[in-house]
């Protein structure tokens, strides 16, 4: 039994040998295959590192000497058009997003009330002109009257002088008994009568001079009334002209809020008009403005027009940060102060012709890139104010 058990156990011991040798035999190939993997890994890391270095060098080469920001948008003039008189809307000659020309008739208001006022003003002016003509005639009559009274005064003064001379002669003749008492008394009475006539005519001259002054005052009042009537007529004509609203500039209509039949009032916004002139307001950090100057060239990417860079230049800088002109500017002297880098609005004007800027609309996001590495040079175009608007009849 012991021999058979030894015979049985021998194969068991032999079989355990190959089982232990299997792991030892596989260890050699696995170690050899890990070396190429490590070398490939190092090679990939080296290539990646080199690509990063090359990319960083290219990025630095392309962006050195430039300042850019994504806090920028297109701006444009936005004119809010409102009526100057209260009336019902008779007709509207445009719709949303219409392209209009300067001087186009856009809105007509009901003119009937203003036509009545105009007719009344015309009648008042005619009446004032009539009163002025009457005052002028009265002034001429007064001038003629004072001439006659002065002539009468001169005549009576001459008669009185003659009577005084006769009185002196008759007095001498009476004393020498050449004439009687009755004739002498008649000459005395005639002299007194002529003196009274002189005084009467003098008072008439004074009265007539007062009439001349009164006529002159009435003429002045009538002339002022005529000028006032003319002003009222002009005002009525203006009020009537305000019933027609014209396009003050070339542009595109936006935010239309008026329809025929509406009752509109002065100051009420009927629509907004956006002229074709556009520019960019870029809010650069204050730390980016060290080398930025007016006139430096700018390349602008517009999100709405991908694949195209627009040429422009720096026009001007706002004299203050954006936060300083808000409704509630920050009060750094109160509370706990935390320094925050401020942004300064910079105005950038396009150098492209207007035909290439038709797709640029107010509010669109842009990304300007300012070349601060070169000296400033003014661009071909400068920002210009809008011309005078058309507010009434053309």
Confidence at 60, pLDDT banded by 50, 70, 90 = low
Write the pLDDT tens digit of every residue in 317-361. Answer: 999 998 888 888 877 777 778 888 999 999 999 999 989 999 999
Show the domain range for 325.
Answer: 66-78+269-371
Angle value at C-alpha 163, between 162 and 164, nearest 5 degrees: 90
53 found inside a domain: no
Tally the domains of the chain.
Answer: 3
Separation of alpha carbons 366 and 359, rounded Å: 13
Q: Which residues contact 139 (CB under 8 A, 6 or more apart)?
A: 212, 215, 216, 218, 219
- The distance of Cα 320 from the centroid of its chain, to the nearest Å, equals 22
| Shared domain check, 236 and 117 | yes
- Sign of the C-alpha dihedral, residues 162, 166, 169, 172? negative
Token pair, residue 159, equals 């008669």
29 versus 351: the higher-pLDDT residue is 351
**Is 17 contained in some domain?**
no
Q: Is residue 57 part of a domain?
A: no
Average pLDDT over residues 75-102: 95
Lowest mean pLDDT among 64-68, 118-122, 275-279: 64-68
pLDDT averaged over the chain?
Answer: 83
Tokens 């002539």 identify what position?
Answer: 151
pTM: 0.68
Q: What is the 3-state secondary structure (H, E, C) of 189-239?
A: HHHHHHHHHHHHHHHHHHHHHHHHHHHHHHHHHHHHHHHHHHHHHHHHHHH
Residue 377 belongs to a domain: no
Q: How confident is the model at residue 265 (pLDDT cuts 50, 70, 90)?
A: very high
Same domain, residue pair 355 and 290: yes
Band of the pLDDT at 14, cuts 50, 70, 90? very low
């Amino acid at each position: 039994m012991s021999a058979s058990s030894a015979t049985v156990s021998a194969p068991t011991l032999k079989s355990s040998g190959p089982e232990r040798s299997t792991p030892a035999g596989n260890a050699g190939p696995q170690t050899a295959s890990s070396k190429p993997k490590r070398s490939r890994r190092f090679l990939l890391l080296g290539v990646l590192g080199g690509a990063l270095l090359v990319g960083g060098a290219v990025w630095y080469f392309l962006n050195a000497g430039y300042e850019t920001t994504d806090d920028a948008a297109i701006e444009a003039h936005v004119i809010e058009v409102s009526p100057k008189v209260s009336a019902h809307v008779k007709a509207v000659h445009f719709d949303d997003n219409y392209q209009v020309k300067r001087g186009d008739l856009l809105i007509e208001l009901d003119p009937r009330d203003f036509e009545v006022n105009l007719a009344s003003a015309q009648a008042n002016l005619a009446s004032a002109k009539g009163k002025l003509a009457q005052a002028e005639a009265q002034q001429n009559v007064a001038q003629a009257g004072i001439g006659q009274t002065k002539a009468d005064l001169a005549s009576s003064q001459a008669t009185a002088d003659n009577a005084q001379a006769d009185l002196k002669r008759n007095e001498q003749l009476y004393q020498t008994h050449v004439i009687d008492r009755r004739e002498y008394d008649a000459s005395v009475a005639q002299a007194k009568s002529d003196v009274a006539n002189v005084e009467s005519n003098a008072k008439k001259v004074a009265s007539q001079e007062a009439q001349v002054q009164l006529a002159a005052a009435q003429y002045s009042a009538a002339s002022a009334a005529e000028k006032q009537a003319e002003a009222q007529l002009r005002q009525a004509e203006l009020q009537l002209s305000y019933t027609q609203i014209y396009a003050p500039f070339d542009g595109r209509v936006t935010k239309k809020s008026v329809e025929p039949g509406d009752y509109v009032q002065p100051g009420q916004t009927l629509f907004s008009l956006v002229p074709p002139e556009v520019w960019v307001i870029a809010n650069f950090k204050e730390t980016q403005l060290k080398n930025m100057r007016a006139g430096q060239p700018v390349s602008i990417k517009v999100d709405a027009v991908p694949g195209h860079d627009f040429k422009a230049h720096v026009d001007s800088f706002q004299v203050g940060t954006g936060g300083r002109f808000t409704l509630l500017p920050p009060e750094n002297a109160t509370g706990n102060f935390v320094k925050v880098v401020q942004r300064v609005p910079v105005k950038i004007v396009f150098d492209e012709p207007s035909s290439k800027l038709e797709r640029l609309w107010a509010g669109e996001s842009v990304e300007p890139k300012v070349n601060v590495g070169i000296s400033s040079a003014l661009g071909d175009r400068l920002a210009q104010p809008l011309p005078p608007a058309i507010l009434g009849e053309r």
